[in-house]
Amino acid sequence: MVFYDGCSIFVLFIPYTFSYAELKAGTDDFSPINKLGEGGFGPVYKGMLSDARAVAVKQLSVASHQGKSQFVAEIATISAVQHRNLVKLYGCCIEGDKRLLVYEYLENNSLDQALFGNKTLFLDWSTRFEICLGVARGLTYLHEESRVRIVHRDVKASNILLDSDLVPKISDFGLAKLYDDKKTHISTRVAGTIGYLAPEYAMRGHLTEKADVFGFGVVALEIVSGRSNSDSSLEDDKVYLLEWAWQLHEDNRGLELVDPSLSTCNESEAKRVIDVALLCTQTSPNLRPPMSRVVAMLSGDIEVTPVTTKPGYLTDWKFSDSTTFLSADASTSNTDQSTQFSSSAGTTQLSDPNYTPVNVSASMLGEGR
Ligand SMILES: Nc1ncnc2c1ncn2[C@@H]1O[C@H](COP(=O)(O)OP(=O)(O)O)[C@@H](O)[C@H]1O
Ligand SMILES: *[C@@H]1O[C@H](CO)[C@@H](O)[C@H](O)[C@H]1NC(C)=O
Ligand SMILES: *[C@@H]1O[C@H](CO)[C@@H](O)[C@H](O)[C@H]1NC(C)=O
Ligand SMILES: *[C@@H]1O[C@H](CO)[C@@H](O)[C@H](O)[C@H]1NC(C)=O
Ligand SMILES: [Mg+2]
């Protein structure tokens, strides 16, 4: 496909198309044994292609509003965006109403499993610091450097995969857009996972790349502390990671956040990561630095801007189906673009199958305290 946008000509390569038969054979008919997990878009299976490449096959179970050619164009965009810190998309499969995506398989799983899982993979401090930097570089590329600018919308630990050398690779970028048919930054549907959601995006659907900066800040604190953003098994003042991190920061005890299972840790690096994360999670998107500045601050090229205001965090979500979701800002009708909420093990996932509209109200960290 060739596009001419008035000032530059660029070529989008048609993505490689796999046959359903090959993917079916390569995953043992999508056997449960090969299932790697399941997120908002559908299940993911480990597979082996006929050329012996290991792949992760994502079955998109939610019907996209887009037609076939638009779907292909979107997949072409995702395939064209390549960086050391982004998961490679090998291609897709479109047969009848089947839609599948084929990604490179990353053998060391996702960051959430390494940090909060059975910890079969131990990440030492220097690895964690490099992971923070790598994720920041990948997001900088998506936001500021790639030909097509992409807001990820779902930056979270399970979307950071680790390769054989523990190099972090961001996955699922560009996916939320497949389900977004309105050309406005005000999305009537929130993709993302509560706990990583920027307040302005969650409550008003206002989407800019600063929503990803917020998600990055949460992931960075999870990497330093080795715990998830919300953990109700902990003492009251520690349940919400951002709240706890801010409390420690105010008391000049920021480094107490560092994962106790780390035997050594470079304190100046850890302090930098924590301070940058608190900047990234500010309530006002304008106070959050662009990702290129995050990279510069983390690597010590520029000073970290001092943080003086507490981060913004959604702590209390109430769901009901009586009022319209995001009605304040969403200019478009959302009868067929609603948000589904399901809750499991303390994390609430937002995905977007056709579902009854729900009302969300949220209270912010520290409000009224
Ligand atoms: N390319 C991949 N290589 C290895 N594992 C993957 C890959 N993609 C996804 N996974 C695994 O599958 C799980 C489910 O992925 P996904 O459907 O994107 O849901 P989520 O990101 O919400 O966990 C992930 O948590 C990850 O552990
Ligand atoms: C990554 O995972 C593979 C397979 O589980 C394992 O053999 C390897 O040691 C891991 N790499 C690192 C750096 O831990
Ligand atoms: C992780 O540990 C739990 C019990 O602590 C166990 O049930 C589960 O199978 C383990 N998962 C893996 C992948 O080892
Ligand atoms: C900590 O990291 C900085 C660079 O980020 C380095 O200059 C310093 O030597 C490190 N300190 C230790 C004790 O390793
Ligand atoms: Mg994912």
Quote the CATH superfamily of domain 111-364: Transferase(Phosphotransferase) domain 1 (1.10.510.10)
Measured between alpha carbons, how far is 275 from 318 in angstroms, rounded to an integer? 31
Residue 343: pLDDT band with limits 50, 70, 90: very low
Three-state DSSP state, 126: helix
What's the confidence (pLDDT) of residue 184? 38
**For the chain, what are the domain ranges?**
2-104, 111-364
CATH 3.40.50.80 fits 2-104, yes or no: no
H helix runs in 282-329, sequence order: 291-298
Give the mutation target among 109, 127, 130, 164 for probing the ligand 2 site: most ligand atoms within 8 A of CB: 164
What average pLDDT does range 82-97 have in this prediction? Answer: 94
The angle formed by the CA atoms of residues 169, 174 and 177, to the nearest 5 degrees, is 155
Ligand 2 interacting residues, C-beta cut-off 6 A? 107-108, 121, 164, 166
Residue 261, phi then psi, degrees to nearest 5 = -80, 0
The 10s digit of each residue's pLDDT in 199-211 is: 888 888 888 999 9
What's the confidence (pLDDT) of residue 69? 81
- 10 Å Cβ neighbour count for 98? 12
What average pLDDT does range 161-182 have in this prediction? Answer: 84
Lowest mean pLDDT among 34-48, 129-143, 278-292, 328-342: 328-342
Lowest mean pLDDT among 109-118, 216-225, 356-365: 356-365
Active-site annotation holder among 112, 154, 172, 180: 154
Residue 74 pLDDT more than 90?
A: no
- 10 Å Cβ neighbour count for 67? 9
Residue 237 pLDDT more than 90?
A: yes
Q: What's the chain's average pLDDT? A: 81
Percent of the chain at pLDDT above 90? 60
Lowest mean pLDDT among 69-78, 154-163, 226-235: 69-78
Residue 360: pLDDT band with limits 50, 70, 90: very low
- 10 Å Cβ neighbour count for 119? 12
What's the confidence (pLDDT) of residue 342? 29
Spatial CB neighbours of 245, under 8 Å, sequence gap ≥ 6: 221, 225, 254, 257, 274, 277, 278, 311
**Which two structure tokens, joined as six digits, stand for 156?**
């979270």
Active site annotation includes 28: no
What's the confidence (pLDDT) of residue 176? 74
Residue predicted with more confidence, 70 or 102: 102
Taking alpha carbons only, the member of 188, 182, 177, 187 closest to residue 338 is 188
The atom number, within ligand 2, closest to the CA of 162 reads 1
What's the confidence (pLDDT) of residue 194? 73
- 10 Å Cβ neighbour count for 124? 13
| Nearest-ligand number for the alpha carbon of 300 | 4
E strands, 85-159, in order: 89-95, 98-104
| Nearest-ligand number for the alpha carbon of 57 | 1
Residue 37, phi then psi, degrees to nearest 5 = 160, 180
**Which two structure tokens, joined as six digits, stand for 355?**
């579902």
Measured between alpha carbons, how far is 225 from 122 in angstroms, rounded to an integer? 13
Measured between alpha carbons, how far is 7 from 110 in angstroms, rounded to an integer? 40
The 10s digit of each residue's pLDDT in 306-326 is: 998 999 976 544 433 332 233
What average pLDDT does range 7-31 have in this prediction? Answer: 83
Closest residue by CA, ligand 2 atom 13 = 165
Residue 226 pLDDT more than 90?
A: yes
Beta-bridge partners for 45: 35, 57
Indicate the DSSP class of residue 141. Answer: I
Say which amino acid occupies 278: L
Residue 122 pLDDT more than 90?
A: yes
Q: Which residues are found with C-beta within 5 Å of the ion, ligand 5?
A: 39, 159, 172
Residue 24: pLDDT band with limits 50, 70, 90: very high
Residue 119 pLDDT more than 60?
A: yes
Give the mutation target among 49, 87, 171 for probing the ligand 1 site: most ligand atoms within 8 A of CB: 171
226: left (phi over 0), alpha (psi -120 to 50) or beta: left
Ligand 4 interacting residues, C-beta cut-off 6 A? 266, 268-269, 300
Measured between alpha carbons, how far is 72 from 92 in angstroms, rounded to an integer? 9
